[in-house]
Homo-oligomer: A and B are copies of this chain.
Amino acid sequence: MKPVKVGLLGLGTVGGGTVTVLARNAVEISRRAGRGIEISHAAARAYDPDRIQGLDRIGRIGDDAFAIVNDPDVQIVVELIGGYSPARELVLQAIANGKHVVTANKALIATHGNEIFAAARDRGVMVGFEAAVAGGIPIIKALREGLAANHIEWIAGIINGTGNFILTEMRDKQRDFADVLAEAQALGYAEADPTFDIEGIDAAHKLTILSSLAFGVPLRFEHCFTEGIAKVGALDVAYAAELGYRIKHLGITRRSAGGIELRVHPTLIPERRLIANVDGVMNAVLVKGDAVGPTLYYGAGAGALPTASAVVADLVDVVRTLTTDPSNRVPHLAFQPDELADIPSLPMEAVQTAYYLRLSALDQPGVMARIASILADQGISIEAIKQKEPAEGETHVPLVMLTHRVIERQMNTAIAQIEALDSVQGEVTRIRMETLSG
C-alpha cells in the first residue's frame, strides 16, 4: 500500500523532531500503522538543515504554508507553527479542503478549538492534538478513551516544564526566583520572554483542554484563573518544606457543586504524594476518576522528540483509521499481525544486571580478599561494600556488596565459588539491581 502523504507546517523544534522521528523509526511505525507515513511537502520560513535528521526524506520544502493546505496530494496536515494566526486560518483551510489535521498548538486549541472541531465534524475529518498537552505523555488518549468509564472528579497537573524547573531549583539550591529564571533562560529551558510560562498562561491553555475532556464542556480558556510563580519566595519554599509540603505550579480543574473550577496557581502539596516528587522539566498529570481512583501520567512535557512522539502517535491514529477496517484499526499486539518479528528471547543466564549480594563471612583477615578475587576473576567489579559489626559472640559478620553490571552466568559461577569457601556460611543472597535510567 502506498504511504500516506503528510504536509508539514513548520520546521522548528517540534517540526524538526517530527521529521527525525518519522525517519528514524520509519520501519517500526509502518509495522504498527499498517502503512508508511511520508512527508511529501513541508513549509518553513527558515530552518537549519544541518540540525534536522531525515530532512532528505521530505518530498519538497517551500516557504508557503497555504500551498500545503491546498496541495491536493496532501492527506494530513501537521501544524507546528504555533500561535493563533495564521495557524487558525491554515487549519480551517486544511479542514475545508477535506484534510485531516494534527497539531501541537495548545493556544490554538484552547482558544479556537470549538470552532475547529465543529468545522472538522462537518467535513468528516479528524483533528489530533495529543501533543498540545504534556508533550509526549499520552494524557489526551487516556482521558478520552482509557478513562471513558469514569465520572472524572478532578485533575491536577504539572503541565509547564519551565515553571517546574524553576521551582525545583529554588528548592534544591535555596535560590531565589529571579536568579533561577535567568539560569533557565541561559540553558534554553525558558524563553527570552518567559511570560507565557511563568505567568501560567501556557499551563492555562493546557488545563482548559484537559477540563473539557474530563467534564464534557466546551473549551473556555477565558474562564481560567491564572496566577504565576514570580511571587513565590525562596523563604516560602523552605517553610513549606519544614511543614512537609512542596510548592508546585499546578493546573487544577475540579467539578464542584457550584460549577467547574479551572485554575492555575502555585500550590502546596504534601511531599509524600508522587506528584510532589516530579522534578525539573518533567510533567505529570494526576486524574481522579470515581471508578479507577487516582491515576498519574508522567513524562517529558516538552522538547523536540518527546513532543514529536505525540504528533506521530496522532498520525498513526489517523493512518490506522484511513487504512484498515474498523475492527482491526488497532492491532491486538500493537504491530500488524503479519509484522510480528521472531526476535529470540534472551535466556536469564545471558542477561546483564548489577547485583546486591549479602553473605555471612568469617570475621578474619584474608576472607574479604578471597571473595574479591573470585569476583574479579569473573570480571565483576564492586561498587560498594558494607561490613557490619559481628553480633556478640558471633564469629561471622554480614557482608553486603553492590556490584557493577555483569552477565548472570558469570555471577552464578562466582556465587558458587563463594558459597564453597569454608569461611562463608550458608548461601549467598543475591538480588538484582537496576538503575532504570538508560
Contacts and interface: CB of A to CB of B under 8 A. Distances in A.
Given A299-B295, A352-B256, A243 B343 contact: no
Contacts of A277: 274, 277
B305 A291 contact: yes
B386 A258 contact: no
A137 interface: yes
A389 to B, nearest CB: 13
Contacts of A316: 145, 148-149
Interface stretch (A183-191, A306-314, A367-375, A417-425): A306-314
A297 B134 CA distance: 14
Nearest to A272: B277
Interface string A240-260: 101101010010100110111
Interface string A333-369: 1110101111111111011100010100000000000
Interface residues of A, number: 147
A300 B295 CA distance: 7
A217 B334 CA distance: 10
A120 interface: yes
Interface of A: 17, 21, 24-25, 28-29, 31-33, 100, 113, 117-118, 120-121, 124-127, 130, 135-138, 141-151, 156, 212-220, 223, 225, 231-233, 235-236, 239-240, 242-243, 245, 247, 250, 252, 255-256, 258-263, 265-270, 273-275, 277-278, 286, 288-300, 305-306, 308-313, 315-317, 321-322, 325-335, 337, 339-348, 350-352, 356, 358, 384, 386, 398, 400, 402, 429, 431-438
18 contacts: A28-B150, A29-B149, A117-B333, A138-B145, A147-B313, A217-B341, A239-B398, A239-B400, A243-B384, A263-B351, A265-B431, A268-B356, A268-B434, A286-B436, A288-B438, A291-B309, A295-B298, A296-B299
